[in-house]
A = this chain, B = another copy of it.
Amino acid sequence: MGNGQIYRHVKLAGMGRALAGGEMVFGGETRYRLKDGETLLDLAEDAAGKALEEAGMSMAEVDCIVCAMATPLQAIPCNAALIHERMAKGMDIPAMDINTTCTSFISALDVMSCMIEAGRYRAVLILSGDTASAALNPGQKESCELFSDGAAAGVLVKAEPEENCGILYARQCTWSEGAHDTEIRGGGGLLPVFSMTERNREDYYFDMKGIRILRLCAGKLPGFVETCLREAGIAREEIQAVIPHQASKALDIIMPRLGFREGAYINRVSAYGNMVSASVPFALCEAVGEGRVRRGDLVLLMGTAAGLTVNFMLLRY
């Protein structure tokens, strides 16, 4: 699992977020889905533009464009190349995808902060966002009513010597016992698009086994969180804001078991649902905008993702 305790003197210089334009309500909870003619590229471009504006930077100052998304926009090329076409055409800026499904944004912060620490890049634009609505199974109510389409972005830069911000700790684990608890079996190399028939159509839909995930998390997450806090040398009380992946309503079951009482963590599931890779950066961006997270605050970003992958990151915002 490596050494998560290395300090990276980086800063999220700006953030932005965007919601799909179609609004709907399921059982009193609001969800957003792409409206006609709208694509995830529109949302991602909107969010990234806001992030650059808040950072006071132009695209020409960005060293690398990273798409930290769970699903492809096209099967080829990578998502970041398509964002590049929208926002950086004619520039030499490298583009790449980093993917750990729902926690891709945290993984990308982990990876790119190391590249910045190593001196490889100075400023990286990280975009998250997914179109869950493209693969929802109308027959699976639990997941079909859970997701929203949205995007969020952040500009990660090398911090100035006098700035009190950075990544204090990061740890990622993958527990592949849960590899098939959240999945879309079809559409890739294992079960190609062209193999879809009326009989196996369900294999191309998003499939979530909520109870199995909950059981795996209940068994393994508490120990994982204890290990992280101990290794980081941080007590829960020192953390100003906990921003978990907005996986589902089960947040209010899981988080107290991890020692975080209601109110200590951000829960926007009823307002936005699960926005896959966008959930964590979207909630962080909103919390910053509302003044709930301020410069210098200690923020915990965490979440579980299909894989099953877990991420835990302590960020001095």
A contact residues vs B (CB 8 Å cutoff): 1-4, 6, 8, 39-41, 63-65, 70-78, 80-82, 84-85, 88-90, 92-101, 107, 110-111, 114-115, 117-122, 130-131, 134-135, 170, 172-177, 179, 182-194, 196, 204, 206, 305-309
Contacts and interface: CB of A to CB of B under 8 A. Distances in A.
A84 B8 CA distance: 28
A136 to B, nearest CB: 10
Given A119-B3, A120-B4, A188 B74 contact: yes
A76 B309 CA distance: 12
B89 A96 contact: no
B183 A118 contact: no
A4 B121 CA distance: 8
Contacts of A305: 77
Contact of A191 (B74, B179, B185, B206): B74
Given A71-B188, A74-B191, A114-B115, 11 more contacts: A2-B120, A2-B122, A3-B119, A72-B72, A74-B186, A75-B188, A77-B309, A78-B101, A82-B176, A94-B174, A194-B204
Nearest to A196: B193
A75 B179 contact: no
A292 to B, nearest CB: 29
Nearest to A4: B120
B307 A63 contact: no
A189 B73 contact: yes
A1 B188 contact: no
11 contacts: A1-B93, A2-B115, A39-B190, A41-B190, A71-B75, A71-B188, A81-B101, A110-B120, A118-B118, A193-B193, A196-B196
A101 to B, nearest CB: 5
Given A6-B118, A63-B1, A110-B120, A78 B175 contact: no
B96 A100 contact: yes
Nearest to A187: B75
Nearest to A113: B118
Nearest to A305: B77
A309 B3 contact: no
A33 B76 CA distance: 19
B99 A97 contact: yes
A71 B81 CA distance: 14
A176 B84 CA distance: 6
Contacts of A80: 100, 174
Contacts of A193: 135, 186-187, 193, 196, 204
Nearest to A115: B114
A192 B115 contact: no
